[in-house]
């Protein structure tokens, strides 16, 4: 996989499209409660690189490009497209990773989002918003194989300013339900487990983080996120904790955030010979996130 070319193409796609006043992402994963003002547009691209499963050579890149619009001073909506590429060499896992090779990059998903602000972080002392998304995905994020998923997520977002706005706290609680249906794969070994019956998945995520302005337009941040998933056949399939630093720049016309999120702990389903103390079937050892947004 040519990572340099893939990253450059994604950033070029963002840079060629101009936009309005942005709902800036100060952290890589944890969201803030602010929304766009009425009539404002926001365009951003988020690139996530997932790397390392403890055995073999695995990495995947997800690219999300979203256009958001402020329908009122309290509600914004958006539409997003996802691209994805998965590279897996040296690791085969029953039910999860059936094939080695390079899959993608290709268009992988479409998503509709909405965010409603109940309390403003600036005006009401404490910010509170509800975020929702409806996502249709046709490429398995872990294996790169054909897999149709329809997901509905609801997320409660809190935010508070400290030190006259120099330090910002954010906290998220989300629940996502997913209907998943994997396509058959020809010529797999007879004893290989690749279920093609539809499944239901329930994912719960808790996250919190702080961002501190240490110079004009510059912020240092840190976040931690716990996530667990329950599936039809196995009950609680996995859990993991990721946490790490972010750096953010916010200018008048554009903003950018870079984040490193290593997996700190995890458990649940495992493969033979994987390192202890982590979940490495659906998750990786590290996630690197780069976001670039433009203001119209």
Mean pLDDT of 256-273: 95
Mean pLDDT of 17-31: 69
pTM confidence score = 0.89
Q: Is the peptide bond between 92 and the residue preceding it cis, with omega within 30 degrees of 0?
A: no
Give me the pLDDT at residue 13, please. 41
Q: Report which of residues 144 and 7 the model is more confident about.
A: 144
Confidence of residue 190 (pLDDT cuts 50, 70, 90): confident
Confidence of residue 278 (pLDDT cuts 50, 70, 90): very high
Q: Domain residues of the chain, as ranges?
A: 3-295
Give me the pLDDT at residue 147, please. 96
Query: What are the C-alpha distances in Å from 103 to residues 86, 89, 99, 100, 169?
Result: 5, 11, 10, 9, 38
What are the tens digits of pLDDT across the range 207-224? 999 999 999 999 999 999
4, pLDDT greater than 80:
no
Residues 177, 199 contacting (CB under 8 angstroms): no
Residues 1, 61 contacting (CB under 8 angstroms): yes
Confidence of residue 191 (pLDDT cuts 50, 70, 90): confident
| DSSP code at position 275 | P
25, pLDDT greater than 70:
yes
What number of other Cβ atoms are within 10 A of residue 164's Cβ?
6
Q: Return the CATH superfamily for domain 3-295.
A: Autotransporter beta-domain (2.40.128.130)
């Amino acid at each position: 996989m040519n990572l340099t070319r893939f990253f450059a193409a994604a950033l070029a796609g963002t840079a060629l499209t101009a936009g309005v006043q942005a709902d800036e992402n100060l952290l890589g994963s944890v969201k803030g409660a602010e929304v766009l003002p009425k009539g404002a547009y926001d365009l951003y691209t988020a690139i996530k690189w997932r790397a390392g499963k403890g055995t073999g050579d695995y990495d995947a890149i997800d690219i999300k490009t979203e256009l958001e619009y402020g329908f009122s001073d309290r509600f914004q909506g958006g539409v997003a497209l996802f691209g994805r590429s998965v590279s897996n060499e040296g690791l085969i896992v029953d039910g999860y990773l059936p094939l080695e090779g390079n899959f993608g990059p290709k268009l992988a998903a479409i998503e509709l989002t909405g965010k409603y602000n109940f309390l403003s972080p600036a005006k009401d002392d404490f910010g509170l918003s509800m975020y929702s998304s409806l996502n249709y995905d046709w490429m398995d994020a872990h294996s790169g194989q054909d897999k149709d998923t329809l997901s509905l997520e609801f997320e409660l977002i809190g935010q508070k300013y400290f030190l006259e706005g120099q330090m910002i706290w954010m906290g998220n609680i989300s629940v996502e339900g997913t209907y998943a249906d994997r396509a058959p794969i020809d010529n797999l070994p007879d004893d290989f487990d690749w279920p093609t019956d539809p499944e239901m998945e329930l994912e719960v995520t808790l996250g919190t983080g702080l961002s501190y302005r240490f110079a004009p337009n510059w912020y240092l941040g840190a976040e931690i996120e716990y996530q667990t998933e329950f599936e039809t056949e196995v009950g609680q399939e996995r859990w993991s904790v990721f946490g790490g630093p972010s750096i953010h720049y916010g200018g008048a016309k554009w903003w950018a955030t870079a984040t490193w999120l290593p997996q700190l702990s995890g458990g649940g389903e495992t493969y033979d010979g994987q390192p202890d103390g982590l979940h490495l079937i659906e998750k990786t050892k590290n996630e690197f996130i780069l976001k670039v947004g433009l203001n119209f």
